A and B are shown apart, each in its own frame.
Chain A
Amino acid sequence: MAGIIIIFVIGIGAGLLFRGNERLKKRIQFITNIDLCLLLFVLGLSIGKEDGLMHKLDVIGYQSFILAIGTILGSILLVYPLYLRAFKGQS
Protein backbone atom coordinates (compact mmCIF):
# COMPACT_ATOMS: atom_id res chain seq x y z
CA MET A 1 0.00 0.00 0.00
CA ALA A 2 3.06 2.24 0.06
CA GLY A 3 2.36 2.62 -3.69
CA ILE A 4 -0.81 4.61 -2.94
CA ILE A 5 1.10 7.21 -0.95
CA ILE A 6 4.04 7.43 -3.34
CA ILE A 7 1.79 7.93 -6.39
CA PHE A 8 -0.21 10.57 -4.51
CA VAL A 9 2.94 12.52 -3.58
CA ILE A 10 4.29 12.24 -7.15
CA GLY A 11 0.95 13.60 -8.36
CA ILE A 12 1.22 16.65 -6.10
CA GLY A 13 4.77 17.23 -7.34
CA ALA A 14 3.69 16.94 -10.98
CA GLY A 15 0.83 19.35 -10.32
CA LEU A 16 3.18 21.89 -8.74
CA LEU A 17 5.34 21.84 -11.89
CA PHE A 18 2.35 22.82 -14.03
CA ARG A 19 0.88 25.24 -11.55
CA GLY A 20 -1.38 27.90 -13.02
CA ASN A 21 -1.94 26.11 -16.33
CA GLU A 22 -5.72 26.49 -16.47
CA ARG A 23 -6.25 24.27 -19.52
CA LEU A 24 -4.28 21.44 -17.97
CA LYS A 25 -6.16 21.86 -14.70
CA LYS A 26 -9.50 21.46 -16.51
CA ARG A 27 -8.20 18.37 -18.32
CA ILE A 28 -6.99 16.83 -15.07
CA GLN A 29 -10.41 17.47 -13.55
CA PHE A 30 -12.13 15.87 -16.54
CA ILE A 31 -9.98 12.72 -16.54
CA THR A 32 -10.33 12.48 -12.75
CA ASN A 33 -14.11 12.46 -13.11
CA ILE A 34 -14.07 9.76 -15.80
CA ASP A 35 -11.66 7.65 -13.76
CA LEU A 36 -13.84 8.03 -10.67
CA CYS A 37 -16.93 6.92 -12.62
CA LEU A 38 -15.14 3.85 -13.96
CA LEU A 39 -13.83 2.97 -10.52
CA LEU A 40 -17.21 3.23 -8.86
CA PHE A 41 -18.77 1.16 -11.63
CA VAL A 42 -16.16 -1.61 -11.20
CA LEU A 43 -16.55 -1.39 -7.42
CA GLY A 44 -20.29 -1.81 -7.98
CA LEU A 45 -19.66 -4.89 -10.16
CA SER A 46 -17.52 -6.53 -7.50
CA ILE A 47 -20.10 -5.78 -4.80
CA GLY A 48 -23.01 -6.97 -6.97
CA LYS A 49 -21.49 -10.32 -7.88
CA GLU A 50 -20.96 -11.29 -4.25
CA ASP A 51 -24.31 -12.91 -3.45
CA GLY A 52 -23.79 -12.79 0.30
CA LEU A 53 -23.46 -9.01 0.38
CA MET A 54 -26.76 -8.25 -1.33
CA HIS A 55 -28.67 -10.43 1.10
CA LYS A 56 -27.50 -8.61 4.17
CA LEU A 57 -27.86 -5.03 3.00
CA ASP A 58 -30.06 -4.31 6.04
CA VAL A 59 -27.26 -5.28 8.45
CA ILE A 60 -24.69 -3.34 6.41
CA GLY A 61 -26.98 -0.30 6.34
CA TYR A 62 -27.35 -0.40 10.13
CA GLN A 63 -23.58 -0.77 10.66
CA SER A 64 -22.90 2.12 8.26
CA PHE A 65 -25.39 4.37 10.04
CA ILE A 66 -23.93 3.63 13.50
CA LEU A 67 -20.42 4.35 12.19
CA ALA A 68 -21.52 7.61 10.56
CA ILE A 69 -23.07 8.81 13.85
CA GLY A 70 -19.94 7.74 15.75
CA THR A 71 -17.56 9.65 13.49
CA ILE A 72 -19.76 12.77 13.47
CA LEU A 73 -20.17 12.90 17.27
CA GLY A 74 -16.51 12.02 17.88
CA SER A 75 -15.24 14.82 15.62
CA ILE A 76 -17.69 17.44 16.95
CA LEU A 77 -16.91 16.64 20.58
CA LEU A 78 -13.14 16.74 20.09
CA VAL A 79 -13.31 20.07 18.26
CA TYR A 80 -15.63 21.68 20.84
CA PRO A 81 -12.94 22.84 23.32
CA LEU A 82 -11.06 24.49 20.42
CA TYR A 83 -14.30 26.16 19.33
CA LEU A 84 -14.83 27.59 22.81
CA ARG A 85 -11.28 28.92 23.00
CA ALA A 86 -10.64 30.18 19.48
CA PHE A 87 -13.86 30.58 17.49
CA LYS A 88 -16.76 31.45 19.78
CA GLY A 89 -15.97 35.16 19.66
CA GLN A 90 -16.33 35.21 15.85
CA SER A 91 -19.95 34.14 15.95
Chain B
Amino acid sequence: MKWSLFLFFVLILGIIVGYFVDIPSSFEYSSIELGLLLLLLFLIGAGIGSDQEVLSYVRKIDLISLLFPVLVAIGSILGAGLVTWLFLDFSIKEGMAVGAGFGYYSLSSLIITQIQGGELALIALLSNILREIITILSAPILVKIMGKTAPIASGGATSMDITLPAIQKYCGNQFVFLAIINGLVLSMLVPFIIPLILR
Protein backbone atom coordinates (compact mmCIF):
# COMPACT_ATOMS: atom_id res chain seq x y z
CA MET B 1 0.00 0.00 0.00
CA LYS B 2 2.84 2.39 0.89
CA TRP B 3 4.57 1.60 -2.38
CA SER B 4 1.48 2.30 -4.47
CA LEU B 5 0.94 5.56 -2.61
CA PHE B 6 4.51 6.50 -3.47
CA LEU B 7 3.95 5.65 -7.16
CA PHE B 8 0.77 7.70 -7.14
CA PHE B 9 2.74 10.61 -5.66
CA VAL B 10 5.38 10.27 -8.42
CA LEU B 11 2.61 10.43 -11.02
CA ILE B 12 1.02 13.51 -9.43
CA LEU B 13 4.45 15.12 -9.30
CA GLY B 14 4.84 14.42 -13.03
CA ILE B 15 1.43 15.95 -13.77
CA ILE B 16 2.26 19.08 -11.75
CA VAL B 17 5.66 19.49 -13.45
CA GLY B 18 4.09 18.88 -16.87
CA TYR B 19 1.37 21.44 -16.16
CA PHE B 20 3.53 24.26 -14.80
CA VAL B 21 6.90 23.79 -16.48
CA ASP B 22 7.21 24.66 -20.13
CA ILE B 23 8.86 21.57 -21.53
CA PRO B 24 10.47 21.98 -24.97
CA SER B 25 8.31 20.42 -27.68
CA SER B 26 11.31 18.43 -28.90
CA PHE B 27 10.91 16.22 -25.81
CA GLU B 28 9.70 12.92 -27.21
CA TYR B 29 7.28 11.52 -24.65
CA SER B 30 6.01 8.59 -26.61
CA SER B 31 9.38 7.17 -27.66
CA ILE B 32 10.81 7.58 -24.13
CA GLU B 33 7.68 5.94 -22.73
CA LEU B 34 7.85 3.12 -25.23
CA GLY B 35 11.51 2.43 -24.40
CA LEU B 36 10.85 2.41 -20.65
CA LEU B 37 7.70 0.33 -21.14
CA LEU B 38 9.49 -2.36 -23.15
CA LEU B 39 12.21 -2.50 -20.48
CA LEU B 40 9.52 -2.76 -17.80
CA LEU B 41 7.79 -5.64 -19.56
CA PHE B 42 11.07 -7.47 -19.95
CA LEU B 43 11.82 -6.97 -16.25
CA ILE B 44 8.34 -8.02 -15.11
CA GLY B 45 8.67 -11.13 -17.26
CA ALA B 46 12.13 -11.86 -15.86
CA GLY B 47 10.80 -11.33 -12.33
CA ILE B 48 8.03 -13.86 -12.87
CA GLY B 49 10.31 -16.35 -14.62
CA SER B 50 13.08 -16.25 -12.01
CA ASP B 51 10.75 -16.56 -9.01
CA GLN B 52 10.97 -20.06 -7.50
CA GLU B 53 7.84 -19.47 -5.47
CA VAL B 54 5.85 -18.59 -8.59
CA LEU B 55 6.92 -21.86 -10.16
CA SER B 56 5.88 -23.86 -7.12
CA TYR B 57 2.46 -22.22 -7.36
CA VAL B 58 2.26 -22.93 -11.09
CA ARG B 59 2.78 -26.64 -10.39
CA LYS B 60 -0.22 -26.70 -8.08
CA ILE B 61 -2.64 -25.03 -10.50
CA ASP B 62 -5.74 -27.10 -11.21
CA LEU B 63 -8.64 -26.52 -13.59
CA ILE B 64 -10.80 -24.58 -11.12
CA SER B 65 -8.06 -22.19 -10.03
CA LEU B 66 -7.38 -21.51 -13.71
CA LEU B 67 -11.05 -21.10 -14.61
CA PHE B 68 -11.43 -18.53 -11.84
CA PRO B 69 -9.16 -15.80 -13.32
CA VAL B 70 -10.56 -16.47 -16.80
CA LEU B 71 -14.06 -15.72 -15.47
CA VAL B 72 -12.73 -12.63 -13.68
CA ALA B 73 -11.20 -11.44 -16.97
CA ILE B 74 -14.38 -11.99 -18.97
CA GLY B 75 -16.51 -10.43 -16.22
CA SER B 76 -14.29 -7.35 -15.97
CA ILE B 77 -14.30 -6.76 -19.71
CA LEU B 78 -18.06 -7.36 -20.13
CA GLY B 79 -18.88 -5.29 -17.03
CA ALA B 80 -16.78 -2.39 -18.30
CA GLY B 81 -18.37 -2.69 -21.75
CA LEU B 82 -21.87 -2.71 -20.28
CA VAL B 83 -21.44 0.40 -18.09
CA THR B 84 -19.73 2.21 -20.97
CA TRP B 85 -22.72 1.44 -23.19
CA LEU B 86 -25.22 2.49 -20.50
CA PHE B 87 -23.60 5.54 -18.92
CA LEU B 88 -20.55 6.83 -20.80
CA ASP B 89 -19.99 8.66 -24.05
CA PHE B 90 -16.96 6.90 -25.50
CA SER B 91 -16.79 3.68 -27.48
CA ILE B 92 -17.54 0.32 -25.86
CA LYS B 93 -14.17 -0.89 -27.13
CA GLU B 94 -12.35 1.82 -25.16
CA GLY B 95 -14.33 1.01 -22.02
CA MET B 96 -13.52 -2.67 -22.37
CA ALA B 97 -9.80 -1.87 -22.76
CA VAL B 98 -9.89 0.04 -19.45
CA GLY B 99 -11.65 -2.95 -17.86
CA ALA B 100 -8.95 -5.26 -19.22
CA GLY B 101 -6.44 -3.52 -16.93
CA PHE B 102 -7.84 -5.84 -14.20
CA GLY B 103 -6.62 -3.38 -11.55
CA TYR B 104 -3.02 -3.35 -12.83
CA TYR B 105 -3.09 0.44 -13.19
CA SER B 106 0.56 1.13 -14.04
CA LEU B 107 0.94 -1.39 -16.84
CA SER B 108 -2.54 -0.93 -18.32
CA SER B 109 -2.36 2.85 -18.49
CA LEU B 110 1.10 2.71 -20.02
CA ILE B 111 0.00 0.27 -22.73
CA ILE B 112 -3.09 2.35 -23.43
CA THR B 113 -1.00 5.57 -23.80
CA GLN B 114 1.01 3.85 -26.49
CA ILE B 115 -2.02 2.78 -28.51
CA GLN B 116 -4.65 5.41 -27.79
CA GLY B 117 -3.08 8.42 -26.05
CA GLY B 118 -3.40 10.47 -22.89
CA GLU B 119 -7.08 10.77 -22.01
CA LEU B 120 -8.01 7.09 -22.07
CA ALA B 121 -4.72 6.29 -20.30
CA LEU B 122 -5.64 8.65 -17.48
CA ILE B 123 -9.08 7.02 -17.20
CA ALA B 124 -7.43 3.58 -17.12
CA LEU B 125 -5.06 4.74 -14.41
CA LEU B 126 -7.73 6.25 -12.15
CA SER B 127 -10.26 3.51 -12.78
CA ASN B 128 -7.83 0.71 -11.97
CA ILE B 129 -6.55 2.50 -8.84
CA LEU B 130 -10.18 2.92 -7.75
CA ARG B 131 -10.77 -0.80 -8.32
CA GLU B 132 -7.95 -1.52 -5.88
CA ILE B 133 -9.16 0.95 -3.25
CA ILE B 134 -12.82 -0.11 -3.51
CA THR B 135 -11.77 -3.76 -3.15
CA ILE B 136 -9.81 -3.11 0.04
CA LEU B 137 -12.58 -1.01 1.57
CA SER B 138 -15.49 -3.25 0.59
CA ALA B 139 -13.87 -6.67 1.21
CA PRO B 140 -15.75 -7.38 4.48
CA ILE B 141 -19.11 -6.48 2.88
CA LEU B 142 -18.39 -8.42 -0.32
CA VAL B 143 -17.58 -11.56 1.68
CA LYS B 144 -20.97 -11.36 3.42
CA ILE B 145 -23.04 -10.77 0.28
CA MET B 146 -21.27 -12.63 -2.54
CA GLY B 147 -19.08 -15.13 -0.70
CA LYS B 148 -15.40 -15.47 0.10
CA THR B 149 -14.18 -15.45 -3.48
CA ALA B 150 -15.79 -12.06 -4.22
CA PRO B 151 -12.90 -9.88 -2.94
CA ILE B 152 -10.45 -11.98 -5.00
CA ALA B 153 -12.52 -11.40 -8.14
CA SER B 154 -12.89 -7.74 -7.28
CA GLY B 155 -9.16 -7.31 -6.67
CA GLY B 156 -8.31 -8.72 -10.11
CA ALA B 157 -4.60 -8.67 -10.88
CA THR B 158 -3.88 -7.01 -7.52
CA SER B 159 -5.15 -10.01 -5.54
CA MET B 160 -1.56 -11.33 -5.52
CA ASP B 161 -0.02 -8.24 -3.94
CA ILE B 162 -1.77 -5.02 -2.98
CA THR B 163 -5.18 -6.40 -2.04
CA LEU B 164 -3.81 -9.71 -0.69
CA PRO B 165 -3.62 -8.59 2.96
CA ALA B 166 -7.32 -7.63 2.90
CA ILE B 167 -8.19 -10.93 1.18
CA GLN B 168 -6.24 -12.93 3.75
CA LYS B 169 -7.96 -11.10 6.58
CA TYR B 170 -11.56 -11.41 5.39
CA CYS B 171 -11.48 -14.63 3.30
CA GLY B 172 -9.00 -16.64 5.35
CA ASN B 173 -5.71 -18.39 4.65
CA GLN B 174 -7.31 -21.13 2.55
CA PHE B 175 -8.05 -18.54 -0.16
CA VAL B 176 -4.53 -17.10 -0.41
CA PHE B 177 -3.46 -19.68 -2.99
CA LEU B 178 -6.43 -18.87 -5.26
CA ALA B 179 -5.74 -15.14 -4.82
CA ILE B 180 -2.11 -15.52 -5.93
CA ILE B 181 -2.96 -17.68 -8.97
CA ASN B 182 -5.71 -15.24 -9.88
CA GLY B 183 -3.36 -12.26 -9.67
CA LEU B 184 -0.63 -14.04 -11.56
CA VAL B 185 -2.80 -15.15 -14.48
CA LEU B 186 -4.56 -11.77 -14.78
CA SER B 187 -1.26 -9.81 -14.63
CA MET B 188 0.08 -11.92 -17.47
CA LEU B 189 -3.09 -11.42 -19.53
CA VAL B 190 -2.98 -7.59 -19.41
CA PRO B 191 -0.29 -7.02 -22.10
CA PHE B 192 -2.02 -9.53 -24.39
CA ILE B 193 -5.64 -8.48 -24.07
CA ILE B 194 -5.49 -4.67 -24.10
CA PRO B 195 -3.79 -4.46 -27.55
CA LEU B 196 -6.19 -7.13 -28.79
CA ILE B 197 -9.25 -5.06 -27.78
CA LEU B 198 -7.96 -1.66 -28.91
CA ARG B 199 -6.54 -2.65 -32.24
Q: Is the CB of A64 within 8 A of B40?
A: no
* Chain B positions within 8 Å of A18 at CB level: 46, 50
Classify the interface of chain B: helix, strand, loop or mixed.
Answer: helix
Please report which residues of chain A, range 1-42, place their CB below 8 angstroms from some CB of chain B when the two chains form the complex. 1, 3-5, 7-21, 24-25, 28-29, 31-32, 35-42
* Chain B positions within 8 Å of A60 at CB level: 119, 122-123, 126
Instruction: Give the interface of B toward A (CB within 8 A).
Output: 7, 10-20, 23, 29-30, 32-33, 36-52, 55, 64, 67-68, 71-84, 87-88, 90, 95, 98-99, 102-103, 106, 109-111, 113-115, 118-119, 121-123, 125-128, 130-131, 134-135, 142, 146-150, 152-154, 156, 172, 174-175, 178, 188, 191-192, 195, 199
Q: Is the CB of B40 within 8 A of A74?
A: no
* Chain B positions within 8 Å of A14 at CB level: 42, 45-46, 49
Q: Is the CB of A65 within 8 A of B130?
A: yes
* Chain B positions within 8 Å of A66 at CB level: 83, 87-88
Q: Is the CB of B42 within 8 A of A10?
A: yes
A1 to chain B minimum Cβ distance, whole angstroms, is 4
- In angstroms, Cα B76 to Cα A86, docked, is 21
A37 to chain B minimum Cβ distance, whole angstroms, is 5
* Chain A positions within 8 Å of B20 at CB level: 48
- In angstroms, Cα B98 to Cα A70, docked, is 11
- In angstroms, Cα B37 to Cα A31, docked, is 13
Q: Is the CB of B19 within 8 A of A72?
A: no
**Partner among B17, B39, B81 whose Cβ is within 8 Å of the Cβ of A44:** B17
B136 to chain A minimum Cβ distance, whole angstroms, is 12
Instruction: Give the interface of A toward B (CB within 8 A).
Output: 1, 3-5, 7-21, 24-25, 28-29, 31-32, 35-50, 53-54, 60-61, 63-80, 82-84, 86-88, 90-91
Q: Is the CB of B46 within 8 A of A53?
A: no
- In angstroms, Cα B38 to Cα A44, docked, is 18
**Partner among B50, B79, B106, B113 whose Cβ is within 8 Å of the Cβ of A21:** B50
- What are some 25 contacts across the A-B interface (CB < 8 A)? A4-B41, A8-B188, A11-B45, A11-B46, A11-B47, A16-B49, A32-B47, A35-B36, A36-B106, A41-B17, A44-B16, A46-B113, A48-B16, A63-B88, A64-B125, A70-B82, A71-B127, A72-B134, A75-B79, A75-B154, A76-B146, A78-B71, A80-B150, A82-B64, A88-B147
B50 to chain A minimum Cβ distance, whole angstroms, is 4
List the 6 closest A-B pairs by CB distance, nearest first.
A74-B79, A44-B14, A15-B49, A11-B45, A48-B18, A78-B75
